[in-house]
């Protein structure tokens, strides 16, 4: 029996594939590489010494996706595939609703047809909107403030309705806070397209000399030093949260639950700059601008539910997050670009699937 990982070549997906393979799971990856590279998956085999199957396809292509269910014995799905750029979602809302929501519906229709009712879904702390009530619990009021966030909120509702209609569905909705860092090997990490919007990839590109200076969006918040506070979580801790969620849903006979995956600790932008300077030995030049529209002052999780029900909590601190981000950035200043298929372990074509062999 295999775990189907949609979006498995992406930032969170690739790290989760490593942890799944390390735990002995068989995995099947589906990705259309709209925001990722096959090279990430090749490196997953390199890190783990394990082989797996990849289907390069779009979730919206129901016929091709159905072949994956036909050809493999899938016991559960971890669903990462989706677009995630907030700014782009404001410009192109239909692109986001189409890809994220329709993609999820197509996936769930096939899961239903093939009696696969175990699902772990990538949601986001963005579903909590602009709340200033921290730490945030799962039962806080929901209300996304942009189309991307609304796709997550709508999918959560769709999944709750699905479970309501058939209570044998086992669904874990994971609301991520701010994933950063990279695998300790420095071989896989976050590889944003263009100029990063998020803080940590921006800082690391300043450190490596690709960008000149970090613009701090506001230093007049009601926080310890005036800059925004977030709950940064190491990507490997986040990946391990998926394994725990998977174990939980496989144990039970039906249910739908949302879990915060965060550390419960908040760090300011200035603290993150300091931590990155310490980890990298580089000076991060900064300039202050006005607040970024739509930004909350402070956002961090109450992660108690995940601790109690999933037996999961984050263990890696910000120094490790920054050291691992830096190792990845330094070793891969251009991300995965131009490294595809250069080395010997080129994937072998076999029907629709590609086998990543050790």
Mind telling me the catalytic residues? 148
Query: Least distance in Å: CB of 221 to ligand NAD?
Result: 21
Which CB sits closer to ligand UDP, 195 or 358? 195
Residue pair 102/117 in contact (Cβ under 8 Å)? The answer is no
Q: Per residue in 218-247, is it b (16+ CB within 10 Å) or e — as a string? A: bbebebeebbbbbbbbbbbbbbbbbbbbbe
Q: Which residues pair with 119 in a beta bridge?
A: 77, 171
* Of 87, 142, 89, 93, nearest in space to 295 by CA: 87
The nearer residue to ligand UDP, 179 or 347, going by C-beta atoms, is: 179
* Alpha-helical regions (H) of 53-146: 62-71, 86-91, 93-96, 103-113
**Minimum CB distance to ligand NAD smaller for 192 or for 255:** 192
Alpha carbons 106 and 98: distance in angstroms, whole number: 11
User: Counting contacts by CB under 6 A, is residue 25 touching ligand NAD?
Assistant: no
Report how far Cα 305 is from the mean position of its chain's Cα atoms. Answer: 20
**263 part of the interface to ligand NAD, by CB under 6 A:** no
Looking at the Cβ atoms of 65 and 261, the one nearer to ligand UDP is 261
9 binds, among ligand UDP, ligand NAD, none (CB under 5 to 8 A by kind): ligand NAD
Residue among 58, 274, 277, 320 that touches ligand NAD (CB under 6 A): 58
Cis omega (within 30 of 0) for bond into 278? no
Residue of 59, 77, 206, 233 that binds ligand NAD (CB under 6 A): 59
Q: How many CB atoms lie within 10 A of CB 250?
A: 13
Please state the closest distance from residue 100 (CB atom) to ligand NAD, in A. 7
Among 64, 112, 217, 305, binds ligand UDP (CB under 6 A): 217
**CB closer to ligand UDP out of 289 and 334:** 289
Q: Does 10 bind ligand NAD (CB under 6 A)?
A: yes
Q: What is the DSSP string of 198-230?
A: SHHHHHHHHHTTSSS-EEEE-S-SSSSSSS-EE
- Sites of contact with ligand UDP (CB under 6 A): 178, 197-199, 202, 214-217, 228, 230, 269, 292, 295
- Sites of contact with ligand NAD (CB under 6 A): 7, 9-13, 30-36, 58-60, 80-82, 84, 99, 103, 122, 124, 176, 179
């Amino acid at each position: 029996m295999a775990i189907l990982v949609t979006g498995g070549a992406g930032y969170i997906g690739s790290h989760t594939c490593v942890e799944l393979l390390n735990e002995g799971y068989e995995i099947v990856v589906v990705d259309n590489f709209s925001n990722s590279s096959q090279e990430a998956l090749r490196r997953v085999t390199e890190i783990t010494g394990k082989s797996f199957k990849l289907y390069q396809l779009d979730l919206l292509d129901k016929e091709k996706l159905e072949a994956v269910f036909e050809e493999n014995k899938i016991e559960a799905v971890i669903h990462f595939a989706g677009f995630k750029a907030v700014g782009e979602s404001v410009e192109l809302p239909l692109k986001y609703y189409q890809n994220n929501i329709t993609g999820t519906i197509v996936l769930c229709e096939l899961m239903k047809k093939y009696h696969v009712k175990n699902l772990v879904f990538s949601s986001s702390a963005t579903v909590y909107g602009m709340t200033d009530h921290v730490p945030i619990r799962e039962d806080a009021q929901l209300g996304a403030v942009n189309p991307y966030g609304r796709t997550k909120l709508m999918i959560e509702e769709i999944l709750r309705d699905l479970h309501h209609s058939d209570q044998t569905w086992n669904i874990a909705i994971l609301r991520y806070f701010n994933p950063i860092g990279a695998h300790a090997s420095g071989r896989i990490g976050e590889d944003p397209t263009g100029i990063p919007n998020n803080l940590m990839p921006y800082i690391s590109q300043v450190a490596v000399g690709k960008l000149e200076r970090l613009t701090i969006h506001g230093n007049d918040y009601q926080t310890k030093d005036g800059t925004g506070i977030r709950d940064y979580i190491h990507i490997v801790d986040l990946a391990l949260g998926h394994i725990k969620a998977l174990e939980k849903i496989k144990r039970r006979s039906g249910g739908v639950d949302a879990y915060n995956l965060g550390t419960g600790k908040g760090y300011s932008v200035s603290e993150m700059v300091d931590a990155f300077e310490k980890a990298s030995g580089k000076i991060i030049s900064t300039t202050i601008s006005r607040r970024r529209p739509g930004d909350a002052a402070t956002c961090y999780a109450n992660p108690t539910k995940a601790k109690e029900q999933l037996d999961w909590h984050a263990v890696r601190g910000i120094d490790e997050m920054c050291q691992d981000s830096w190792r990845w950035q330094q070793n891969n200043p251009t991300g995965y670009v131009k490294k595809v298929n250069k080395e010997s372990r080129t994937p072998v074509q076999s029907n629709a699937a590609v086998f990543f062999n050790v």
